[in-house]
Amino acid sequence: MAIAQIRILSEDDIELVHEKTLRILQETGVLVRSDKALKVLEDGGASVDKASMTARLTEALVKDTIRKMPKIARLCARNPKRDMLAPRDGPPFMATSGTAIYMTDLGTGQRRTTTGKDLRDFMTLCDAMEPLDYVWPIVTAHDEPDATHALSELAISLQSTTKHVQGEAVSAHEARGEIEVGSAIVGGADELSKRPIFSVIQCPICPLEFEKGSVEAVMEFAKAGIPVVSMSMALCGLTSPATLAGTIAIVNAENLASFAISQMTKSGAPVIYSSESVAPNMMTGEIHYGALEEMLLSSAAAQMAKHYGAPSMVGGFGTGLAGEYPGISADPAELFYATSTCLTSTDFASGIGGLDQAKGASLEQIVIDCDLWEMLREMRKKVSLDSDRFVTDLIKSVGPGGTYLKSPHTMKNMRKELFLPSQEKMKLYQQYRLDSDQKKLVSAAKERAKEILASHRPEPLGSDTKRKVDAILKRYES
């Protein structure tokens, strides 16, 4: 079986990264601003300095962590047909971008802040888009209570799509609320542990720091069997060394430290190795999706995850490198960013529908990005090289100078072996080069989004379940 992949680390390189990571964890350690998390690390064998709240992880603790963590991730959905299982050989499972602070209005095209109703519309559209495998709450619900933003956005998303939802939590309190909501939907905490219909992204503060609320949320999720994505977000030269080697080591150390906290809390807690690390715009300090270094760091992170047997989520697609409004970027960095994500050995990725370096989002952009991803993901499909597929007898019968077009073999296998895109979509996207054609493209995507929102109805929660979820939200809001 042949699969197109980017690999930048040799086996010797991987061992060297691991060796340097162990040195960082043992000599520098990690800052953990939680007495509870420090206690579980100390009980697991870490050397803890309570005054500085620093934990130094021994090689034995790291080995124990790797031994305990599951090597398979099952991200389930309300609709079991939409469950995802990693590791994955083909193209990565793809999600939306997340928690944008503004959107372009579907009617006026103007920028505006987002609400809970907007998030419902986004999730309804995402539910209908086949190239999307799972979702992040793509926009912020600004009209929801400040103290329970993530909880409210997770609940809205779970009610508005039957796909897996990946959220976040800023405290143990909010994590417990999310676990209650998930349990109410699937029929109890035990069932949620067996079929986690949501997972969470919890980011260390780079470099090598774990904030109290976030790390204690990780512990709650570990106990409940909710998969935790430990997303390292290093910025070369700002929050990590300017050298790519140093940044890769920081990313690796943050993931292993996060895994240790989960496994020392509950052995076998599901975890996913993750990096969204890039070089910043050194003129402004802003994150710079699409930078060349992103591909290199993502590929290295995916390889390190495979080395430990961990599922991974790196890289992305979309995020709106071109600007604040929907369309297709003329910047080759956007295509390079998307292509590199497809070709790394990651299991999961994200970014569909984003604008302006993920600060904004657009319903039309979801349609456009899904169309592009549908074509691009074919680069990572499995290519079978079994003996029968060489068809040497057919080659002999056709002979030199012949044609295979009339062969029954071609008719039988072309749809299995070749990607045949929608001709209507291809004509539309081939016109995007001129500004006037960009407008046509966006207008067509807008009409498709409107049609889907008018006709698609995700399977709703039962009335009793809906009441339980509403009651949980009210209790946590108060």
Residues in Cβ contact with 337 at an 8 Å cutoff, skipping those fewer than 6 apart: 289, 290, 294, 295, 315, 316, 317, 319, 321
Q: What six digits make up the tokens of 449?
A: 């989004």
Kindly report, residue by residue over 42-70, the tens digit of the pLDDT: 999 999 999 999 999 999 999 999 999 99
Tell me how far apart the alpha carbons of residues 53 and 35 are, in angstroms, rounded to a whole number.
8
Q: Can you tell me the mean pLDDT for 21-28?
A: 98
Kindly report, residue by residue over 428-459, the tens digit of the pLDDT: 666 555 556 678 888 889 999 999 999 999 99
pLDDT over threshold 60, residue 285: yes
Q: Can you tell me the mean pLDDT for 164-176?
A: 96
CB contact burial 308-323 (16+ within 10 A = b; e otherwise): bebbbbbbbbbbbbbe
Phi/psi zone of residue 445: left (φ > 0), alpha (ψ -120 to 50 degrees), beta?
A: alpha
pLDDT over threshold 90, residue 3: no
Per the DSSP assignment, residues forming a β-bridge with 278 are 235
Confidence of residue 413 (pLDDT cuts 50, 70, 90): confident
Confidence of residue 111 (pLDDT cuts 50, 70, 90): very high
Q: Which stretch of DSSP H or E encloses residue 314? A: strand 312-316
pLDDT over threshold 70, residue 232: yes
Per the DSSP assignment, residues forming a β-bridge with 316 are 350
Q: Can you tell me the mean pLDDT for 167-175?
A: 95
Quote the percentage of the chain above a pLDDT of 90: 71
463, 185 in Cβ contact below 8 A?
no
Confidence of residue 4 (pLDDT cuts 50, 70, 90): low
Say what the alpha-carbon torsion angle 291, 292, 295, 298 is, to the nearest 10 degrees: -60
Q: Can you give the pLDDT at residue 356?
A: 86
Q: Can you give the pLDDT at residue 386?
A: 82
The DSSP code for 139 is B
Per the DSSP assignment, residues forming a β-bridge with 104 are 111
Tell me how far apart the alpha carbons of residues 216 and 169 are, in angstroms, rounded to a whole number.
10
CA distances from 354 to 290, 346, 389, 435 (A): 13, 20, 40, 20
> How many helices (H) does the chain have, and how many strands (E)?
17, 18
Q: Can you give the pLDDT at residue 2?
A: 65
CATH class of 68-381: alpha beta
Q: Can you give the pLDDT at residue 293?
A: 80
Q: Please report, for the chain, the start and end positions of each structural domain, with discontinuous segments joined by +.
A: 68-381, 387-417
Q: Can you tell me the mean pLDDT for 267-283?
A: 90
Tell me how far apart the alpha carbons of residues 48 and 53 are, in angstroms, rounded to a whole number.
7
